[in-house]
Structure 1
């Protein structure tokens, strides 16, 4: 649609006509599109980030070409301008930006927000430059009707942000740039103060500092409106429009620049801490401006986001500021005097005040709001309507409201300040009137609660393991404040011991039922358990508590059980009795245990070893143990069938018999017995080394009668006889072998082996 910035009129003053020419009054023309925008870099996890471009376009005068399906962001190293990556950002969303006050909507002002984004990876071994990095997107062109820059239809924008290295001193350095900047969809009115919260937030809690900067133009233009990639810095700024020539009798305007981007009284400014924009513009038109948001961590600048935008200034109908009066009580007709009067709110006094508010403009919609100045938390409340229409047919000239301070308000000997604000619905921003109310408040007195128990007059309570302890806890409050019972323990958590406290309200009392089945966790070095019961009330949201303690002594004593058996006691000098039996025998033993405390008893038998290098399964050695367990007594029968199964284990077998009492702190009793399979008696091994095969009946054959006899898995395997040159001359698997010699004298060698790995070797001389 055609757009005309201003229409000359013969009745206009000369200054206004000149300003209209200075702002480049134009005939019908199609604007381009870009309103402004900013970039964001959001850390998601690890080395993953999301790169975002928020682009705002003119939805009224923009061309169809404004809706790019994607834009390309280029990442550079700051220290060298080295290009690190080009990131294609696809369009993710397309929405309208809402007015602060929808009633002030103007058909000539409509803005779309286009969001372009993509997930990227910033690897620690790549993005580690101490100077940091910057990202840029270049796009042309701005709205043709912008009046404070030269050739706006050929003026581009460079969207720019800086971010730090993702690793510092070998450790990850995580950072997200400031974000969630509110879009500027409102317009300003000539000679009216305009303000707007233009600040962002930082997800890392870094400090943000705002300042005005000259918007960047960069390298794009009408010929190349959408470069394939952004060029490296530096980026040329836009060119401010020249100052108008002086007019006699008219104050000279300062030239446009970074600190005078929108002429006004005051000129455009931004609060460095909050990002709030303020300006009282002098001229009608469309104005571009730039803002920088710098990010600081521990006093060091680590990043920066630049934001370009534009502000439309219109000639608006004059809006008179509304007025509000405060009357201290219903009988008073004297208004409250801010800065001089103080309201004193005491128990039993009237805690409500009346408000009158009005506006001289016709058809004004007024609304009241409260803003605490030097306190937080509880606020007074309106008991009547806080908004309404004045000076309209059928509507009153003045509205009234009642403001009441809660009974619990407590200023604690301080003077609190509260702003009562009335606002109209004027455009583009409402006007306000404020009454600052100073007040003190004292809440009603509070009587302490009481708490008792039915635990009995004799304390501490004395209990044993297994006892059930129960009693009632009763709390009441003289002021009938709601009560809640709490249970704690001195140095312990009652719930871990199985103690519970159920409660309910009976009349104006809070009743609790304490129940505890005393169990082993209650037994400790300090057997006294102090249970604390607290009645909690919250008059005026202030915690009040009264506590009572019930001590409980857990009595516990345990006598060790007694284990006896019919096993023969050990011989002198031996710590463990030894049972040694030959193959084929049977052995039995009985064990019995008693306990004076009548605790449950358990008898067990396990195979072990003298050196502690592993046990054995009783059944594998021909052993079995049959216990009969019970309360206060237990018996057990041990049986051993002596066989090669035990002998083949090649060691003494130790069986550990244990009697365990089932109580909180058991005192087990242990008896060990050593078992051994007796081998057949064997003579001392003798190895002969001379024979004389002369048939005289004396020493004619080589034999080894004193070798170990065969026993279980210890069996004779073979004998081999060799000449002195290693030639075999005799071999036999018979333990009772006979070798008469080789027919001629000489020296021979023999080698004897058993199945259990035993070996015997020697030499033999044959003398004919």
Structure 2
């Protein structure tokens, strides 16, 4: 039973769609339009299989199962024309697929196909419709061209239609599509594809490659004469607009193809099959609209008359519209032909005629904005009346040629309550306030705004507060002049105020500049001290040298004539003052700061190779200035005697010059300790050694002659010399 149901006729039409997502991911979608009245539920598939092929070889790239994700009704253009015997569902099957750049590189491109049977068996323009299948088909290009990514999404043909056509009445519908890549689209009629599916194989497990057999037209029908009509079915090559005036009742299938071009080269195509039902309809007469020339009773004559709307004149024209049909709802609309922008407005847009209590003729006025300006050109405007007839509204259009000169419109004016002195002179701490007033002689709405030339007012604390609902427009400027303005490095600030009106989208701007000069003078502070002066010739640091056990003290005094707050500070270059016996006690204040520096010399200064201290005097102001001094502190030994030992002695026991002694040997000092005293023969042999600085060497019974001594300290300090043993 289910197998038989799945072969039931149900297909109205449909199309495939391939949209780029990201990377190598695309979304493949099948839109299948299902006959919701005659289609069997057993023919409603939960999934369909799509097959992808390479065009030149028909190589099957892959199959993919597309699950059903949406099932909804297709709306009528005019819901009031809905019929119970004509209803269409839109079934959406979709899934993301991968098209890797390394694989999809064939320059001739690829195609996708889905095959399914069967069509409605009452279709009246093809043979064996109940056994005819449909092949949904699209083509897409390689995803790489000339070594670069080639991104493309297929055009989307929409919307589908659930409408019917009336025999003898013009039917029109827009099948025009959209292309997200901006490619050019070209439409043409094509013969629908049957493919390989049939009533005996209604749902193939996969699509076969091309060729796909077309449907068979009945006698008198063809690709260019698909629906009997005068004229027959046609489609706008660049618009996608379908038109037909059918002459026979029935259900007719038709096919269209949308090709996409990029740089004048075809890169892909999408096909859609659909069907149109033609029914007998009661006669629907055309509505009519009349445009009355201004200040007359004469009817406007298209092609002969031109409306001339002058400045200061009445800019409204009278309209009369009616319809012979009873209880006809009429709607007015406008369509500009050769211009864009603001359109005139109707006083009455819609109404009913020829119904109990309703008039036979409706009247309205079409009023042009007072600022409408055609700039000397003749503009064309279609004035359209449409009824609510079925299947589609009937229309009447009057194309109105017109010129228009706008009413004079003066620009806004701008004034302030600020001091007229230019520029305004302000000081640090001043609060500057004034009002900005914008006025428009034509009472156009005004927008007030503030900006700064080469600066942002908010960054320096300036505020501009607009008072809503005032006429004239008013705003308050407020600025507390603080260090933010001075620190920015500018002294002249030009505030630019604007009043903007936009009558009929024509922007009118008036500008007013209020300059403000900041009067700010800052004298640098002065530093005096008992520190040694810097060597101006060499621009080197000052040096303080003291022996161990002494104390050094200096005083520093900072003065500022502007009475700015002063801060004295001292920092060691790579050390903490207290760790090396230094202290710095400041007394900071406004306009004056004093400090006392003290140093108790220790071996730390020797170990570190000297101590550098940075003394700074910094003022607290908008543009602070700092005075710096660097002083180097060193420790020296108090033993200033020259080390020059006797170089001869006579160990003969006469108690005169019997010993070699070193009474002037430099003492131990901050880690520089005596390590050893050595005496060598002239052949380099060590003959004596001691670590006792109280040296009394009697020669040790060595023969007379010249000997050498070497004195070493722990800091690698050395003394070398000769000593002679005399007989």
TM-score w.r.t. the length of structure 2 is: 0.84
Is the CA contact 1:130–1:165 (under 8 Å) kept in the aligned structure 2? yes
Q: CA deviation at 1:562?
A: 1.6
Secondary structure of the structure 2 residue equivalent to 1:265: coil
Q: Tell me how far apart the structure 2 counterparts of residues 753 and 306 of structure 1 sit (CA, whole Å).
A: 104
Is the CA contact 1:215–1:237 (under 8 Å) kept in the aligned structure 2? no
Q: CA deviation at 1:673?
A: 0.5
Is the CA contact 2:331–2:349 (under 8 Å) kept in the aligned structure 1? no
Asked whether 1:400 is paired with 2:359, we answer no
Asked whether 1:256 is paired with 2:222, we answer yes
Q: 2:110 — aligned with what?
A: 133
Q: 2:192 — aligned with what?
A: 215
Asked whether 1:156 is paired with 2:139, we answer no
Q: CA deviation at 1:506?
A: 8.4
Q: 1:239 — aligned with what?
A: 215
Q: 1:308 — aligned with what?
A: 273
Secondary structure of the structure 2 residue equivalent to 1:379: coil
Q: CA deviation at 1:196?
A: 0.8
Q: 1:424 — aligned with what?
A: 387
**Structure 1 residues 174 and 716, CA gap change in structure 2 (3 angstroms):** farther
Q: Tell me how far apart the structure 2 counterparts of residues 172 and 584 of structure 1 sit (CA, whole Å).
A: 83
Asked whether 1:623 is paired with 2:588, we answer no
- Map 1:363-512 to 2 at 5 A: 363-384=327-348, 386-388=350-352, 390-504=353-467, 508-512=471-475
Q: 1:728 — aligned with what?
A: none
Q: 1:6 — aligned with what?
A: none
Q: CA deviation at 1:706?
A: 11
Q: 2:9 — aligned with what?
A: 32
Q: 2:315 — aligned with what?
A: 351
**Structure 1 residues 668 and 759, CA gap change in structure 2 (3 angstroms):** closer
Secondary structure of the structure 2 residue equivalent to 1:496: helix
**Structure 1 residues 685 and 128, CA gap change in structure 2 (3 angstroms):** farther
Pick aligned residue for 2:262 from 291, 297, 300 = 297
Q: 2:18 — aligned with what?
A: 41
Q: CA deviation at 1:360?
A: 2.4
Secondary structure of the structure 1 residue equivalent to 2:178: coil
**Structure 1 residues 672 and 241, CA gap change in structure 2 (3 angstroms):** same
Q: Tell me how far apart the structure 1 counterparts of residues 398 and 618 of structure 2 sit (CA, whole Å).
A: 83
Deviations 1:370-418 (A, max 9, x none): 2222222322222235221x33455443333333334343333333322
Secondary structure of the structure 2 residue equivalent to 1:551: strand
Is the CA contact 2:58–2:210 (under 8 Å) kept in the aligned structure 1? no
**Structure 1 residues 468 and 167, CA gap change in structure 2 (3 angstroms):** farther
Q: 1:174 — aligned with what?
A: 151
Q: 1:516 — aligned with what?
A: 479
Q: Tell me how far apart the structure 2 counterparts of residues 76 and 719 of structure 1 sit (CA, whole Å).
A: 101
Q: CA deviation at 1:460?
A: 1.6
Secondary structure of the structure 2 residue equivalent to 1:149: coil
Moved more, 405-414 or 107-116: 405-414
Q: 2:570 — aligned with what?
A: 605
**Structure 1 residues 467 and 275, CA gap change in structure 2 (3 angstroms):** same
Q: 1:120 — aligned with what?
A: 97
Is the CA contact 1:155–1:238 (under 8 Å) kept in the aligned structure 2? no
Secondary structure of the structure 1 residue equivalent to 2:85: coil
Secondary structure of the structure 2 residue equivalent to 1:357: strand
Q: How many residues align?
A: 709
Asked whether 1:286 is paired with 2:245, we answer no
Asked whether 1:198 is paired with 2:146, we answer no
Asked whether 1:548 is paired with 2:522, we answer no
Q: 1:666 — aligned with what?
A: 624
Q: CA deviation at 1:619?
A: 4.2
TM-score w.r.t. the length of structure 1 is: 0.80
**Structure 1 residues 394 and 518, CA gap change in structure 2 (3 angstroms):** closer
Is the CA contact 1:256–1:263 (under 8 Å) kept in the aligned structure 2? no
Q: CA deviation at 1:182?
A: 0.6
Q: Tell me how far apart the structure 2 counterparts of residues 489 and 420 of structure 1 sit (CA, whole Å).
A: 49
Q: 2:542 — aligned with what?
A: 577
Q: CA deviation at 1:113?
A: 0.6
- Map 1:711-722 to 2 at 5 A: none
**Structure 1 residues 470 and 397, CA gap change in structure 2 (3 angstroms):** closer
- Map 1:737-752 to 2 at 5 A: none
Is the CA contact 1:34–1:141 (under 8 Å) kept in the aligned structure 2? yes
Q: Tell me how far apart the structure 2 counterparts of residues 518 and 271 of structure 1 sit (CA, whole Å).
A: 69
Q: CA deviation at 1:305?
A: 2.2
Asked whether 1:563 is paired with 2:537, we answer no
Secondary structure of the structure 2 residue equivalent to 1:378: coil
Q: 1:639 — aligned with what?
A: 598
Secondary structure of the structure 2 residue equivalent to 1:433: strand
Is the CA contact 2:196–2:213 (under 8 Å) kept in the aligned structure 1? no
Q: CA deviation at 1:160?
A: 2.5
**Structure 1 residues 666 and 269, CA gap change in structure 2 (3 angstroms):** same
Q: CA deviation at 1:682?
A: 10
**Structure 1 residues 333 and 474, CA gap change in structure 2 (3 angstroms):** closer
Q: Which runs of 5+ in 2 are unaligned?
A: 1-5, 645-654, 679-688, 698-709, 721-727
Q: Which runs of 5+ in 1 are unaligned?
A: 1-28, 245-252, 609-614, 687-696, 721-730, 740-750, 763-768
Deviations 1:697-752 (A, max 9, x none): 9xxxx9999999765566789999xxxxxxxxxx999999999xxxxxxxxxxx99
Q: CA deviation at 1:95?
A: 0.3
Deviations 1:35-89 (A, max 9, x none): 2222222333444332222111111121223221122223334454444433322
Secondary structure of the structure 2 residue equivalent to 1:161: strand
Is the CA contact 1:295–1:302 (under 8 Å) kept in the aligned structure 2? yes
**Structure 1 residues 681 and 142, CA gap change in structure 2 (3 angstroms):** farther
Q: 1:327 — aligned with what?
A: 292
Q: CA deviation at 1:179?
A: 2.6
Is the CA contact 1:40–1:178 (under 8 Å) kept in the aligned structure 2? yes
Secondary structure of the structure 2 residue equivalent to 1:456: coil
Deviations 1:219-254 (A, max 9, x none): 3333333233333x4241413324x3xxxxxxxx4x
Q: Tell me how far apart the structure 1 counterparts of residues 165 and 643 of structure 2 sit (CA, whole Å).
A: 121
Secondary structure of the structure 2 residue equivalent to 1:627: strand
Q: Tell me how far apart the structure 2 counterparts of residues 703 and 234 of structure 1 sit (CA, whole Å).
A: 120
Secondary structure of the structure 2 residue equivalent to 1:495: helix
Q: Tell me how far apart the structure 2 counterparts of residues 591 and 79 of structure 1 sit (CA, whole Å).
A: 94
**Structure 1 residues 453 and 571, CA gap change in structure 2 (3 angstroms):** closer
What RMSD, in angstroms, separates the aligned Cα atoms of the two structures? Answer: 4.6
Pick aligned residue for 2:499 from 523, 535, 538 = 535
Is the CA contact 1:628–1:635 (under 8 Å) kept in the aligned structure 2? yes
Deviations 1:458-478 (A, max 9, x none): 212222333322222233333
Q: 1:25 — aligned with what?
A: none
Q: 1:19 — aligned with what?
A: none
Asked whether 1:272 is paired with 2:237, we answer yes
Q: CA deviation at 1:426?
A: 2.0
Deviations 1:655-680 (A, max 9, x none): 22222233343332221101224368
**Structure 1 residues 260 and 577, CA gap change in structure 2 (3 angstroms):** same
Q: Tell me how far apart the structure 2 counterparts of residues 507 and 109 of structure 1 sit (CA, whole Å).
A: 60
**Structure 1 residues 529 and 144, CA gap change in structure 2 (3 angstroms):** same
- Map 1:647-726 to 2 at 5 A: 647-650=606-609, 652-678=610-636
Q: Tell me how far apart the structure 1 counterparts of residues 265 and 472 of structure 2 sit (CA, whole Å).
A: 60
**Structure 1 residues 157 and 572, CA gap change in structure 2 (3 angstroms):** closer
